[in-house]
Amino acid sequence: MLLILAGLTWLGMDQLRPPACETSDRVDRFSCDRAMAHIRAIASQPHPVGWIADTQARDYLVNQLEQMGLLVRVQKARIHPPIVWAPFAYNIIARLPGTHRGPALMLCCHYDSVMWGPGACDDGLAVGALLETMRALKAGPPLRDDVILLITDAEELGMRGAEGFVDSDPSAKEIGLVLNFDARGTGGPSIMFQTSDGNAEMIGVFASAAPYPVATSFAGDVYRRMPNNTDFTIFSDAGMKGLNFAFIGNYAYYHTPGDNLEHLDRRTLAHTGSCALSLSRKFGNLDLSAIRAGPGAPDDIYFTAFRGLLMHYRQGWGIVLSAILLSLTTLALIVARRRHWITTGGTLACVVRLIVGTAIAAFLVWIGVRIVVGRIGKLPTDQHRDAMEYAEIAFALLATVTTLCFMLIGRRRPAANNLAAAGLGIWALLAIPVSIFCPGGSYLVFWPAIAALIAFCAIAPNRLAPWARLLIASAASVPVLFLMPPSIDLFMTALTYRGAYVIMPLISLTLWLLASTGAIEMLGVAGHCRSKDER
């Protein structure tokens, strides 16, 4: 069983591994080598707004776009409030004409860096990827819509270039949809983590067009509550519809000298480029004015279920499915109690263990964070990155061991059915508030829990052969391990090790849900026999 769980976890985590960087000689395909040439040209040194290196990068990009045969101009936008060394932001705007007049598709990234890093990934990687995307689009069949490439300046100073574009450039009124690409690291998949309001139709197109879609509506709910912003915030506030992408792996290098060519992951470049090119061709051949979006349009719940497969359905189904889960779980537990598959005292004792164990796991990790945070911050960048990874692994193991200890507490092992019932009860109760206050994350509760509930109903009577229980437990563990570990990993990376104690309860809850599938019993943690005080 341990090998099965490990294998399922590995398959679930596989969705976070970017595709290999393939080489193609076809002029209408994306080439990592051609994109890398652009990144090397602009990201060999820091180039913040107002510096000579920033001007040199801009001149290079304008020259390359003109050589492609695109219509190129530079917008001079005043920065408010003015900065002594940079009173203006210089946005680069290139246009690839389409065959029809109408709203245009806009691809966006920024070419300025912070003062202390060359910005090879933030946002040089996206710059190189989008230049190569525009070249491939120009070499391929003409698109229906105009495609505008906006490479903003002064993004690192508070999205000043994007503000100038929206406020004063006439082409801002032509935009039918925007795809923005940014970074908060140097590797990992390009994650579609934010949309404008009323995203259902856009998500449908994204799911059908993106070759390796990595996205979660839970990220959008979390991101709205964080102080972070990108150029997409400016566009969305201006009423533009669109999707926002970023990669966050190796975040220790973010905004440091380590954001350089050496640490850039070419697989991330391949994922970003393949996504940008595929989506540009799909959206660029649609009537963008016909795509409904905005406050009056429906939103979707969406998530990557497996590598290359994005599931999505209307957000309104979240509360309905959560209510169904709570009703079915309540009914199953009542039947289980009447048929003596579980005991009231034993199940309540397990609920207490779950709550106390989860709280203690989070508290122990919080203490660990307080101990290591000062020490890690003083290390050089490379050692800092390694230390953060070790700390995250240590915190996850600490939460796992603490949770398992609370499962085993007492003179005898707790009954498997009581463990399962406790886990199901907690997850079913969580479903309603999650679907109300964080609707984009409701899928993380419903699909794993409904699979565990089905397994509980099959295994609890204790009438199946061991091989059948193993098969059911393995099948029911698939939704748990395909959804929870990748989500835990993503949000651990997003919050960094400093917020590990916020993520640790998810590890505890995942282990308890595995108990509900019967997987914990298969590992020998719990047996079907019940002690006298549980009867």
Query: Could you please report the per-residue DSSP string of 243-275?
Result: EEEEE-BTGGGTTSTT-SGGG--HHHHHHHHHH
Quickly count: other Cβ atoms within 10 Å of residue 371's Cβ: 11
Q: Please check whether residues 352 and 466 belong to one and the same domain.
A: yes
Q: Please check whether residues 63 and 37 belong to one and the same domain.
A: yes
CB-count burial class (<10 Å; 0-12, 13-18, 19+) for 84: exposed
* CA–CA gap between residue 165 and residue 175 (Å, rounded): 11
Q: Are 189 and 210 in contact (CB under 8 A)?
A: no
Q: What is the pLDDT of residue 535?
A: 41
| Lowest model confidence (mean pLDDT) among 78-82, 141-145, 274-278 | 78-82
Rounded to the nearest 10°, the torsion over CA 522, 525, 531, 533 is: -130
Kindly state the tokens that stand for 17. 């591994």
Boundary of a domain, candidates 314, 332, 365: 314
Q: Are 191 and 490 in contact (CB under 8 A)?
A: yes
Q: Look up the pTM and report it.
A: 0.91
Question: Would you say residue 18 lies in a domain?
Answer: no
Q: What is the pLDDT of residue 252?
A: 85
Strands 104-110 and 71-83: unpaired
Boundary of a domain, candidates 314, 349, 384: 314
Q: Which stretches of 260-315 are DSSP H helices?
A: 266-283
Q: Which residue has the higher pLDDT, 382 or 190?
A: 190
Question: Would you say residue 55 lies in a domain?
Answer: yes
- Residue 227: CATH number of its domain: 3.40.630.10
* CA–CA gap between residue 121 and residue 125 (Å, rounded): 5
CA-based torsion, 353, 359, 362, 365: positive or negative: negative
Q: Could you list the beta-strand ranges (E) of 33-117.
A: 71-83, 86-96, 104-110
Domain that holds residue 432: 316-534
Q: Please check whether residues 272 and 386 belong to one and the same domain.
A: no
Question: Would you say residue 8 lies in a domain?
Answer: no
Q: What is the pLDDT of residue 377?
A: 65
Q: Please check whether residues 247 and 344 belong to one and the same domain.
A: no
Q: Please check whether residues 220 and 294 belong to one and the same domain.
A: yes
Kindly state the tokens that stand for 239. 């009423």
Kindly state the tokens that stand for 256. 């440091």
| Lowest model confidence (mean pLDDT) among 201-205, 210-214, 370-374 | 370-374
Q: What is the pLDDT of residue 524?
A: 62
| Residue 303 pLDDT greater than 50, yes or no | yes
CA-based torsion, 50, 53, 54, 55: positive or negative: positive
| Top mean-pLDDT range of 69-83, 270-284, 470-484 | 270-284
Kindly state the tokens that stand for 132. 């190569």
Q: Please check whether residues 508 and 421 belong to one and the same domain.
A: yes
Q: Please check whether residues 279 and 325 belong to one and the same domain.
A: no
| Lowest model confidence (mean pLDDT) among 32-46, 108-122, 368-382 | 368-382
Residue labelled with tokens 């976890």: 9
Q: What is the pLDDT of residue 527?
A: 55
Phi-psi domain of 32 (left: phi exceeds 0; alpha: psi -120 through 50; beta: other)? alpha
* CA–CA gap between residue 411 and residue 417 (Å, rounded): 18
Q: What is the pLDDT of residue 530?
A: 43
Total tally of structural domains belonging to the chain: 2
Which residues are CB-neighbours of 122 under 8 A, at least 6 positions away?
A: 113, 114, 182, 183, 184, 254, 255, 259
Question: Would you say residue 499 lies in a domain?
Answer: yes
Quickly count: other Cβ atoms within 10 Å of residue 235's Cβ: 26
Determine the average pLDDT of the residues in 225-250.
92
Helix axes 416-437, 443-459, angle to 10 degrees: 160
Q: Please check whether residues 31 and 68 belong to one and the same domain.
A: yes
Q: Please check whether residues 344 and 460 belong to one and the same domain.
A: yes
For residue 368, the one-letter residue type is G
Secondary structure letter of residue 422 according to DSSP: H
Question: Would you say residue 4 lies in a domain?
Answer: no
Kindly state the tokens that stand for 300. 């979707």
Q: Please check whether residues 274 and 418 belong to one and the same domain.
A: no
Kindly indicate the confidence band of residue 410, based on its pLDDT and cuts at 50, 70 and 90. Answer: low
* CA-closest candidate to residue 415, choices 332, 515, 489, 265: 515
Phi-psi domain of 250 (left: phi exceeds 0; alpha: psi -120 through 50; beta: other)? left
Q: What distances in angstroms separate CA 24 from CA 78, 243, 270, 334, 449, one per listed residue?
A: 42, 27, 12, 61, 44
Q: Please check whether residues 328 and 276 belong to one and the same domain.
A: no
pLDDT tens column, 458-480? 998 888 888 898 899 899 999 99
Q: Are 94 and 134 in contact (CB under 8 A)?
A: yes
Q: What is the pLDDT of residue 532?
A: 39
Helix (H) / strand (E) element for 152: namely strand 147-152
Kindly indicate the confidence band of residue 98, based on its pLDDT and cuts at 50, 70 and 90. Answer: very high
In the predicted model, what is the mean pLDDT of the chain? 90
Question: Would you say residue 1 lies in a domain?
Answer: no
Q: Please check whether residues 293 and 408 belong to one and the same domain.
A: no
Q: What is the pLDDT of residue 411?
A: 43
* CA-closest candidate to residue 459, choices 447, 446, 477: 477
Q: What is the pLDDT of residue 437?
A: 93
Strands 104-110 and 147-152: parallel
* CA–CA gap between residue 68 and residue 137 (Å, rounded): 10
Question: Would you say residue 20 lies in a domain?
Answer: no
Rounded to the nearest 10°, the torsion over CA 498, 499, 500, 504 is: 160
- Percent residues over pLDDT 70 in the chain: 94
* CA-closest candidate to residue 53, choices 111, 110, 93: 111
Boundary of a domain, candidates 288, 314, 340: 314
Q: Which residue has the higher pLDDT, 497 or 86?
A: 86
Kindly indicate the confidence band of residue 5, based on its pLDDT and cuts at 50, 70 and 90. Answer: confident
* CA-closest candidate to residue 504, choices 351, 399, 391: 399
Kindly indicate the confidence band of residue 414, based on its pLDDT and cuts at 50, 70 and 90. Answer: low
Question: Would you say residue 19 lies in a domain?
Answer: no
